[in-house]
Amino acid sequence: MPTDRCAVVSTAEEGVAPATFHDSLLRWAEEVRRDLPWRRHRDPWGILVSELMLQQTQVSRVIPRYERFLARFPDPAACAAAPVAEVVTAWEGLGYNRRAVNLHRAAERIVDEHGGVLPDDLDGLLALPGVGPYTARAVLVFAHERDHGVLDTNAARVLARAVAGAPLAPRPAQRLADQQVPPGRGWEWNQAVLDLGATVCVKRQPRCASCPVTEVCRWAAAGLRDPDPAEGSAGTSGRQPRFDGSDRQARGRLVQALRTGPVELSRVADVIGWSDDPDRAERVADGLVVDGLAEYADGQLSLPA
Q: Which backbone phi and psi does 295 adopt, to 5 degrees? A: -150, 150
- Tell me 162's DSSP state: I
Phi, psi of 302 (to 5 degrees): -145, 165
70: burial class by Cβ within 10 Å (0-12, 13-18, 19+)? buried
Identify which of 126, 128, 27 has the alpha carbon closest to the alpha carbon of residue 79.
128
51 is catalytic: yes
3-state helix, strand, coil in the chain (%, to 5): 60, 5, 40
The pLDDT tens digits along the chain (305 residues) read 333 343 344 434 456 677 889 999 999 999 999 999 999 999 999 999 999 999 988 999 999 999 999 999 999 999 999 999 999 999 998 988 999 999 999 999 999 999 999 999 999 999 999 999 999 999 999 999 999 999 999 999 999 999 999 999 999 999 999 999 999 999 999 999 999 999 999 999 999 999 999 999 999 999 999 999 999 898 776 555 677 888 888 888 988 899 989 999 999 999 899 988 988 989 989 898 998 989 999 899 999 98
Q: Are 115 and 65 in contact (CB under 8 A)?
A: no
Q: What angle do CA 103, 138, 43 make, to 5 degrees?
A: 70
Q: Which of 14, 51, 264, 282 is catalytic?
A: 51
Per-residue pLDDT, 212: 96
With H, G, I as helix, E, B as strand and everything else as coil, classify residue 296: strand
Question: Do 38 and 47 contact (CB within 8 A), yes or no?
Answer: yes
Separation of alpha carbons 38 and 32, rounded Å: 16
Q: What is the pTM of this model?
A: 0.84
Residue 273 burial by Cβ neighbours in a 10 Å radius (0-12, 13-18, 19+): middle
Per-residue confidence (pLDDT) for residue 15, from 0 to 100:
64
Domains of the chain in sequence order:
3-35+148-221 (1.10.1670.10), 43-144 (1.10.340.30), 247-302 (1.10.10)
Q: Which sign, positive or negative, has the C-alpha torsion 138, 151, 131, 51?
A: positive
CA atoms within a 13 Å half-sphere pointing along the CA-CB vector of 71:
8
